[in-house]
Amino acid sequence: MEIKIAELKTLGSLEVVYQEEAKKLEVNSPEPLNMNLFLRYNPEYITLTGKIEGKIELICSCCLETFLYSMKTRLNLRIPNKEMKNEILDLSEEIRQQIILNLPFKPLCQEKCLGLCPQCGENLNLRKCNCQNRVLDPRLEKLKNFIQR
């Protein structure tokens, strides 16, 4: 997303309602991301505020299935004017960084995801496996006996 700095300087502020293809932001999404941005010019910096909404495709950290995550994030950035080399301000990198920073650290497809069976690798959300032998780590053997007391 590119903004002409001369136009922003003349107007003083600018509101932009925009849809950005997720591929341009290096994010997997089946649909464009909706952005409602407000830019304000100051001789020292440009203030960028607004919100970004959309669905992002993530991989569950427990069962490794892909799922759609509904993302809603707010922006509040100051971009120093000395960082601008051209008369056009490209906001794509700032927006991409904000999206990545607001993704969950441990994405889960559902709150109570059961994950994968450590024995056979079966997705326990889809079906229960028949693995009965739970191998106990020999380092934890003494703890097992401690709990039984």
Residues 80 and 92 in one domain: yes
* pLDDT reported for residue 84: 65
Residues 86 and 122 in one domain: no
Residues 19 and 58 in one domain: yes
Region 112-127 average pLDDT: 88
Q: What is the pLDDT of residues 37-90, one digit of tens each?
A: 999 988 888 899 999 999 999 999 999 999 999 999 998 988 887 766 677 778
- What is the rounded CA–CA span in Å between residue 17 and residue 69? 22
* pLDDT reported for residue 40: 92
pTM of the model: 0.72
* pLDDT reported for residue 43: 84
- Determine the Cα angle at 31 with ends 78 and 21, to 5°: 45
Residues 82 and 127 in one domain: no
Region 11-16 average pLDDT: 85
52 versus 20: which is more confidently predicted?
Answer: 52
- What is the rounded CA–CA span in Å between residue 96 and residue 90? 11
Q: Mean pLDDT over all residues of the chain?
A: 84
* pLDDT reported for residue 58: 92
Residues 8 and 41 in one domain: yes
Residues 101 and 86 in one domain: yes
Q: How many domains does the chain have?
A: 2
Residues 101 and 120 in one domain: no
- What is the rounded CA–CA span in Å between residue 93 and residue 130? 48
Percentage of the chain exceeding pLDDT 70: 93
* pLDDT reported for residue 134: 65
Could you tell me the pLDDT band of residue 19, with boundaries at 50, 70 and 90? confident
- What is the rounded CA–CA span in Å between residue 37 and residue 35? 6
Q: Give the domain range for residue 123.
A: 114-149
Q: What is the 3-state secondary structure (H, E, C) of the chain?
A: CEEEHHHHHHHCEEEEEEEECHHHHCCCCCCCEEEEEEEEECCCEEEEEEEEEEEEEEECCCCCCEEEEEEEEEEEEEEEHHHCCCCEEECHHHHHHHHHHCCCCCCCCCCCCCCECCCCCCECCCCCCCCCCCCCCHHHHHHHHHHHC
* pLDDT reported for residue 131: 81
